[in-house]
Amino acid sequence: MSPRAPLRRLRWRLAARRRLAPGLAALLLLLLLPGAAGCGPGPVKPKTAEAQGGAELPAVQVSDDELASAVHRLLRDGKQTPERAALLAGAVRRQLAHAAEHFTRGDRERGTDAVTGALYLLRPGEARPDMFDAASTAALAGAIARHSASGDEGRALALLVMQRALVAPGSAQRAEIDAHLDALGRWISETHTGEDMEKLAADKRAVVARALLEPSQAALQAAAQAVGAWIDRAVEYNVQYRDTGAVPPHEEAIEALRALQGGGMEMAALYLRHGRARAAFDALLGTPARQVVRPHFFALVRAAAGDGTAGDWRALAGAFASGERSEDGEPLHLDPGLLQAAIWGTAVEAYRRDPTSPAIGQLLAELCADLALPEVAPLLLADALGPRPAAALLSSALGALMDTLSAELDRDAILAARRIFASSRALLELGDRDEYRGRVKPSTAELRQMLAAVELRSGNADGARALMVAALQVEPTVWGYTMLAMIERQVGNAAAALAHALRAAALPAAEVLRLDSAQAKLLAFELLQDQGAHDRAATELDGALELTLGTRRSRLGDSAQVRAEGLLARILDRYGEQGGAARAMERALDIAGRSGRMLGPTLVLALQRDFVQRDLGAARAAVQRGIDAQLDGDDLVYGALWLMLLERQLGEQPDGKVERVLGAAVEGEGWTAALARWARGSLSDAELRAAARSYSQRIEALFYVAMSALAAGLDGAREDLRRVAQSPLIDLVEVHLAREVLGARPRARRPGRFEVP
C-alpha cells in the first residue's frame, strides 16, 4: 500500500502521549523460552473441572461420520459444561487426524487449513492434553513446516509451543523442537528491524498470528499489547505532523496510516475471534485503540458488549465480512488471517443467538469449508432454511453445497465428499419435495450426480450407479441417462448402457438440449459398433451430426460454440474425415482463445484428439499455443505428456516443447509435478506408482507407464492399457485414450445431404 497523501490531521482530542512498554520483539522472544507464559506443561492452561461445573469427563470418541454433528453441536451451544468439554476434545482430535491425512496425501495447504479449523474451535482455557495424539502431533508438524517455509513465524511459533508440550522432556524430538524455537527466536531478532513503525508492525504481525492459533490468555494479552504499541507510535507520528508538518519516512508513513485506519478494528478483532465482546470493548476504551477506532464500529462493539443480541453480532460479522473501508472508501488492509478469525468468532456468536439467519448460516458454512470442515456446512445451511424456505433461499443453499462438493472433488478428497453428502440429508429431502421440483437450481438430482462422480473417482461403480438411478427418479435428464450409460459400459453391461443412451436421446428435453442429445447418440453409435450393429450405429451417428450442425447454426455463446465444434470434430473422426475434424478443432481453439478460462480445457480436448489420430504437427502446435498463452495449472503439463508419448510412438526427435513445459513443472507440488519428474526420468515407474495417493492417480500412473512401455515394445503394455480402459473413471481422459488406443472401429460413411464446414 502506498499512502495517497501525507498523513491527515486527526480531529479527535488526543490523550496524553504515552508509550506502551517498548521492545515487543523482546516480549516475543520471552514467549519463546521454555517455561514462559503459555509454554508450560500443556499448550495452554486448561480450565479446571470445578470451573466447568463438575468433574472432568474423558474425551468423547468422535468418528469420521460423527464429526459433522459434533462440531454442529459445539457451534450451536458454547455453554461451558464437562459434557461439552469432552465433546470438544474428541472433535479437535478427529479434525487434527483429518489434517494429518491431508498431509499424508501431499495436500499441505488443506492440511494446514484443517489444523487451523481444529484450533478455531478452541477459546482460551479450553485446550486439554487428551485433545492430542500421535496423529495430532504429525498434523502440527506438517503445519509448522508450511508456516515456516512461508515465513509466518507467529503461526509457526504457536504450533511449535503446542507440539513441544506434547513430547517427552529429554527426548530427541523435544531437543529438535527446542532447536527450532531457538532458530526462530534468532530469525525474529535479526529480521524485525527498521524504524519504529516497521519494527512494531513486524512484532505485531507475529504476535497476532500466534494469538489466532494458540488459545491462551498469555498469547492474547501479548497480541493486544503489540497492537497497542503499533497504534500508539502511529498517533505520535500524527501529532508530530500536526505540530511541525514533518512527514515521517515513506515506509513509516505507510505503517502509520495502516495503524490509524485499521488499528481499532484489529484490537477488537483479537477478542472477537473468541466471541469476547466485553473484552473487546474494554480494550478499545483502555488502550490507544480508542483514539483511532471509528465511531460506527465502536458503536457496534459496544452494542454486542451490552445485551449482545443476534442482530448486534450479525452487524459485527457483517462489518468484518465487508472488509470495512476507510472514510474515503479505501480498503483498510487488515491482516487477512485476523480478519478471517474475527468473522469466524462473530459469526459463531450470531449463529448461537439465531441459527435461522440465512446470511449467517451461509457465511459460517463458507468458513467451515475454508477451514477444512466442509461436512459441517450442510447442517448450518439446513438450520438457516427452516421447514419451508423460499425457493430462492433453497437454491442458494444447494448452490453453496454444490460448490463445497465440487471443491472436494477437485482435490480428489473422496472421504470428505462422502461426509458432506451424508450430512446433507435434510437439505436433499427438502429439495426432493414436489413443491420445489423444477423451482430450485441446482436440483437435488444434480447434487446426486456430482456425488456419483465422486464415487467413480474412488472406483465405486456400484455406488455411483445407485446415486444416478436415485437422481434420475427425481429428475430424468439427458445428461443423467448418458452418464448412467457410460457407467454401465465401463462395468461391462453393454445392453443396459445402450438402453440408457437411447433413452437419453429420446427424452422430451433432448429436443431443446441438442448437444446433450448429440452426445448421447454418439455414445449409442459406439456401443452399437462394438456389438457389430453397423447399420443402426450409422443411423445414430447421422443423428448426432444433424443435431450438432443444426446447433452450430444457432446463436450460441462462446462456451456452447466451443462445445459444438469439439463435438463436431469427434463425430467427423468417426466418419474418417480427419481434415474436417481438424478444422472444427481449430475453430474451437480460436473461440476459446478469446476467453482465457476456456483455452486450457479446449487444448486438452484438442491434444486428446491429436494423440488418438497420431497427428504430431497438430499436437506440437497446440502445445505451443498453450505456451504462448502462458497457461497455468495442469492442462499444459498433461498436453506435454501426451506429446512426449506421441513423439516416442512415432520415433520422432523432441523439438523442445515438452522439455520446456515439464522443466517448469518439476519444481511444483502435487501429482502433476510427480508426473513431470517421471517424464524427465527423475522418478522410476515404481516410484510414480508409489506417489499416487488416490484411485484416479493410480489409474493415471498405470496409463502413462503402460503407454511408455508400449512405445518401447515391451510385453504386457496392452494388458495394462486394457485395465485402464475398463476403469469406471468415465471422466478421466486417460481412460478414453486407452480405449481409443486399444480399439479400432470401422468408419461410417457420411450421408451427402450434410454440408460440413
Task: For the chain, give every domain's residue range.
Answer: 24-354, 488-546
pLDDT at residue number 103 = 93
User: Going by C-beta distance under 8 Å and a sequence separation of 6 or more, which residues neighbour residue 87?
Assistant: 60, 62, 70, 73, 74
Task: For residues 710-730, give the mean pLDDT.
Answer: 92
Phi, psi for 74 (deg, rounded to 5): -65, -40
Confidence band, pLDDT 50/70/90 cuts, at residue 25: very low
pLDDT at residue number 336 = 87
Confidence band, pLDDT 50/70/90 cuts, at residue 18: very low
pLDDT at residue number 189 = 78
Of 54-63, 207-216, 351-360, 519-528, the poorest mean pLDDT is in: 54-63
Q: Is a pLDDT exceeding 70 seen at residue 46?
A: no
Q: Is a pLDDT exceeding 90 seen at residue 398?
A: yes
Rg, Å, the chain Cα set = 30
Q: Which residues of 387-414 are buried (b: 16+ CB within 10 A; e: fewer)?
A: eebeeebbbbbbebbbebbebbbebbbb
Confidence band, pLDDT 50/70/90 cuts, at residue 328: low
Q: Is a pLDDT exceeding 60 seen at residue 96?
A: yes
Q: Is a pLDDT exceeding 50 seen at residue 607?
A: yes
Task: For residues 711-732, give the mean pLDDT.
Answer: 92
Of 60-69, 108-117, 128-137, 272-281, the poorest mean pLDDT is in: 128-137
Long-range CB pairs of 718-723, under 8 A, 24+ apart, other chains included: 718/742
Q: Is a pLDDT exceeding 70 seen at residue 4?
A: no
Task: For residues 354-369, give the mean pLDDT.
Answer: 95
Task: Give the span between the Cα atoms of 515 and 552, in whole angstroms.
Answer: 10
Share of the chain above pLDDT 90, in %: 66
Task: Give the span between the Cα atoms of 565 and 551, in whole angstroms.
Answer: 10
CB neighbourhood size of 460 (10 A): 18
pLDDT at residue number 331 = 62
Task: For residues 180-206, give the mean pLDDT.
Answer: 83
C-alpha cell at 543: 443423428
The residue among 182 and 34 whose pLDDT is bigger is 182
- Closest to 700 in 3D by CA, of 633, 647, 641, 613: 641
Confidence band, pLDDT 50/70/90 cuts, at residue 35: very low
pLDDT at residue number 245 = 82
Bridge partners (DSSP) of residue 331 are: 325
Q: Is a pLDDT exceeding 50 seen at residue 22?
A: no
| Helix ranges restricted to H, 192-249 | 196-213, 217-244
pLDDT at residue number 727 = 92
Q: Which residues of 230-257 are buried (b: 16+ CB within 10 A; e: fewer)?
A: bbbbbbbbbeebeeeeebbeeebbbbbb
Task: Give the span between the Cα atoms of 369 and 116, in whole angstroms.
Answer: 12
Cis peptide before 476 (omega within 30 of 0): no
Report DSSP state, residue 49. Answer: T
pLDDT at residue number 339 = 93
Task: Give the span between the Cα atoms of 643 and 114, in whole angstroms.
Answer: 38
Q: Is a pLDDT exceeding 50 seen at residue 373?
A: yes
Task: Give the span between the Cα atoms of 485 and 501, in whole angstroms.
Answer: 6
pLDDT at residue number 652 = 94
Q: Is a pLDDT exceeding 70 seen at residue 729?
A: yes
Task: For residues 420-448, give the mean pLDDT.
Answer: 92
